[in-house]
A and B are shown apart, each in its own frame.
Chain A
Amino acid sequence: MALSTIVSQRKQIKRKAPRGFLKRVFKRKKPQLRLEKSGDLLVRFHPFSGWEWGTGEVHLNCLLFVHRLAEESRTNACASKCRVINKEHVLAAAKKSRG
């Protein structure tokens, strides 16, 4: 597969929020909770069946988290003058954000 297609695939995967996954994770983690209000939204204009508002925000949250983590790890890698992001870079970034 050409480079371009690989990148485009990644982009498509990126844009789509794995709503099923998010819901599943949430249910697994906190089965007692329900994710959110979605019924009235689903009936509305958009053909997004089964899509939930909350998952979108959760997805946004995850996106932002991953983004921050990646940036931090990249900074760590550049600080150590490595061309490749190492495990310790990621660890350091995680520790920094999570404490």
Chain B
Amino acid sequence: MSQRQVLQVFEQYQKARTQFVQMVAELATRPQNIETLQNAGVMSLLRPLLLDVVPTIQQTAALALGRLANYNDDLAEAVVKGDILPQLVYSLAEQNRFYKKAAAFVLRAVGKHSPQLAQAIVDCGALDTLVICLEDFDPGVKEAAAWALGYIARHNAELSQAVVDAGAVPLLVLCIQEPEIALKRIAASALSDISKHSPELAQTVVDAGAIAHLAQMILNPDSKLKRQVLSVLSQIAKHSVDLAEMVVEAEIFPVVLTCLKDKDEYVKKNASTLIREIAKHTPELSQLIVNAGGVAAVIDCIGSCKGNIRLPGIMMLGYVAAHSENLAMAVIISKGVPQLSVCLSEEPEDHIKAAAAWALGQIGRHTPEHARAVAVTNTLPVLLSLYMSTESSEDLQVKSKKAIKSILQKCTYLPALEPFLYDAPPNILKHVVGQFSKVLPHDSKARRLFVTSGGLKKVQEIKAEPGSLLQEYINSINNCYPEEIVRYYSPGYSDTLLQRVDSYQPLTH
């Protein structure tokens, strides 16, 4: 046979291999094909193609493997069991950038499903090679490596620690400073995944000087980048007071407030999460946020979105109001209470309602002024109905009960208390009557109003055990009025009057 014919055989084989691998890679993009591919045993066929002579086939095979592993964790486990990982790790160090990108993609696809798979990746020594890839010139390779590291670090603190020990953090901070937006996004997301587990990891990220760069990137117009940057900052700030103070020192206020007006919903959510994480630590930090006008911005943000996006904003108001009564008063004058009561009534989800109830309780529990501000907006009946309704979750019931109790114990605004006399359960009725007994002895107008609105009548109808606190309160209310009136309103008075009529002998002249 001539040489040409021999070479033709080889060329055909190469063409066949190329075609196979390209078709598999294309089919793997559609989820419905993957089951069929798996049943046809594609893993064992792709594995030797990873070692092919032709670089294009290697790269496409790696890409196909990555797409398959991306789909579900069974395939990812098959990749791990098939001992493909050491191969990939070795060739990551050697090959060109397309192969590096594809191999990093495979590592990411395997590592994202579960901690065990990520641990398997760490065990075969992938971290060091990935960190070396982070130093590569090509931004696509850096992006793929950073993405893989981020997905590995996402699962738990040990894996994050392993990623940090491999020296990834300074390189990620360098990646953030690169001009490509996609690389910045992925590096920020990786830093967020690393720093979210524990204060020490967050401290490592801060020590690498990340905060200054991240604070500058808040002004970037790209909304996905802003999401990730705000997420990193909030993960750093949530662990301790020192970290939160360091984030604040980077002069993020009032720039962060502009992010609360962004069109993207998740930017708003992450911005309010960041503000919440800062506000929850100490009264001084909350004071700082209030002085910068953050409370008004958050309230507007709550008003402009719906659903889960509102939740961090609501919690932030609760945390600020919880610290001290001046801060609670600041929340009140920023018109926070009407907004919170709107959230309470119109949100369908129970956990958001519970958060709104908790926040209202924190605002109203300090002094009678605060309780009046909450009671004026007619939220107390809503809270009562949430507490009494059987459809509310337990958490919601508990939180609304606590909110009602704490507000009622300070509430002296009687028009809001009166509806409670009629439909409150006994344990809340006790507090309501107690409040009446405190206010009525001193205020004559209130006494008159109490009688004319039928409150005295209702109080007479309440049955209480003699000697209990409720009876004492009822007695002290009754002492505010002359005896005839009390008798007039006591239940069954009309019957006694009729009895007297029956037993009366008219004088015969």
Whether A and B are associated in the same complex: the answer reads no
Which A residues lie at the B interface, using CB under 8 A? none
